[in-house]
Every structure is written in C-alpha cells, then in structure tokens.
Amino acid sequence: MTASREGHDEGSSRLKEISSELEKFQGHIEGVLAQFDYCAAAQFAMRLSLEEAMMNGFRHGNRQDASKSVEVRWSISSDSATFHVTDEGEGFDPEAVPDPTLDENLEIPSGRGLMLIRAYMSEACYHGPGNHLEMTFRKSTPHD
Amino acid sequence: MAHENSRIRVTDINGVMRVEFVDRDILDEASIRRISTELVQRIEAAANPQVLICFRGVEHLSSAALGTLITVNSLAKKRGGQLRLSDIRPSILEVFVITKLNKLFHISDTAEKALEGFGKV
C-alpha cells in the first residue's frame, strides 16, 4: 500500500516471506529514494538498515514463525525518510545487547545489526516492548 | 567439491583457496547460509587452509554475512590456516570499520597484495 503526493511518499507493507518479498520491497524503496534525490551513500545506508531491521524482526522477533509477519511503514520526503518496522514478537531490551565492538566480543558472529542501524541512520529508537523500531535518515546529517 | 546452485566461485592459486561471490548483494539469509555451509565444508577438508575472499563486484553486505566471515576466520585459524580479504569497495569497508572488524581481519586493497600476504607471490 503506498500513497504519493507532491513532495512526499508514504505507505506500508506487510511481509510474510523474507527472501523474495524483501528484495521487491527494497526495490520499491530504492525507486522512491532516487525520486527524492537521495545519493548513493544515503541509499546504501537505508538499504542496509532496512535489511538489518527486517531480518531482526523475522529472526529474533518472530523467531522465524512462518505464520507471523513484519510490517514496515515509511514516510519519505526530499529532506528525510522515516521507517517503522514492527514484528509480532515479545520485544527485547536494546540496551541489553552486548557491544560487538569490544575486543572480547569481536569474534562473536552475531549481534551487529542494531549497531549498524544506529551508525547509518540519523535516529533509531524502539517503542513499546521493543518490537517496534522507528528510524529516520536526514539529508542534513553528515551521511549525505 | 561441486556444490549445486553455489553462490561462490572457488579457484586454487598456488595452494590458496580464492573465493569470489556470484551475487553483488550478500544479504539474503538463505544464500548466506548456503555460502557458509560450502565454505566450512571446504575449509574442514583442507589442511592449513589459506583462504582469500575477494569482494570484487560486491555492493551490499549484511551483518549475517559478517557473521559468516567471523566463523570462517575462526575455523581457518583453528585448522592452522588463515583468512584474508581483498577488493572491498569503500562503502562496504566502512561497515568493517564501524563494527571494528577491520581489526580482526587481514584486509588488502587487491587480491595480488593479499596473495603476497600469504607469501604466494
């Protein structure tokens, strides 16, 4: 579901299957971002962040339960792009995730998705019990 | 060691297992799992595995792919070998720097320089 008006694009999508549906969704968002003149680096940042957020939702939130879905809502203008990613899981405490950049954690193969989102997006915060991530990319930040 | 629908190309260069990716995006979890399984099998079949993963042509990489690299690195070291990475474009290199994994991996600008690191050139 998507709605465009001058200077703004917003919509939502409910994904039940990660591989093909996510690729199609990313393709749609890339097209919208290009339409609003987001540069390649900005598009890279948002593609990576969306990938990580959706993967976290499917894998950790929904625990790969095929009967559950991940919903993403977006609102994109020429200044900023905001995404809400909500899974059907019980949520989690983002502050309890160990810092993967500490020397003692460098060889742990998981736990880097959230830190990449925080690094690449201008803002990222969880709502509710921790199953709803809101993240925003602003063109005015050094990313773009 | 043939793998059906493999997402990597593997060639032997003077005893170094050189790995390249078929896809420009290393994001899809099923593909990453397949890549991980194949690499682990190949490394476990080798004595002192010398592995070079070349990222030429790769445009996107997820944290799940980073996890596979960490697993491969640990396994190669455990078996007396080593892993080196090369040809990483700046946007992806930034991902390694943000996660500080540039401290864990040997990263070279080119495959040729990485091969020198193995003492194979």
Q: How far apart are CA A9 and CA B83, in angstroms?
A: 45
Q: Is A23 helix (H, G, I), strand (E, B) or coil?
A: helix
Residues 42-101 of B with CB under 8 A from A: 60, 62-64, 66-68, 70-71, 73-74, 91, 95, 98-101
Q: Where are the domains of chain B?
A: 8-118
- CATH architecture for the domain at B8-118: 2-Layer Sandwich (3.30)
Domains and CATH numbers, chain A: 2-138 (3.30.565.10)
- Rounded to an integer, the average pLDDT of A104-122 is 96
Could you report the per-residue pLDDT of A39-64, keeping only the tens digit for each? 999 999 999 999 999 999 999 999 98
Q: Quote the pLDDT of residue A143.
A: 52
Q: Is the pLDDT of residue A2 over 70?
A: no
B73: chain A residues, CB-CB within 8 Å: 107
Q: Quote the pLDDT of residue A142.
A: 59
The mean pLDDT value of chain A amounts to 92
Enter the ipTM: 0.89
Distance, in angstroms, between B120 CA and closest chain A CA? 27
From A26, which residue of chain B is nearest by alpha-carbon distance? B27
Of residues A97 and A3, more confidence is placed in A97
Q: Quote the pLDDT of residue B4.
A: 72
Q: How many CB atoms lie within 10 A of CB A17?
A: 10
- Rounded to an integer, the average pLDDT of B29-40 is 92
Q: Quote the pLDDT of residue A20.
A: 76
Instruction: Identify the CA nearest to A120 among candidates B103, B29, B60.
Output: B60
Contact B57, B19 (CB under 8 A): no
SS (H, E, C) chain B: CCCCCCCEEEEEECCEEEEEECCCEECCHHHHHHHHHHHHHHHHCCCCCEEEEECCCCCEECHHHHHHHHHHHHHHHHCCCEEEEECCCHHHHHHHHHCCHHHCCEEECCHHHHHHHHCCC
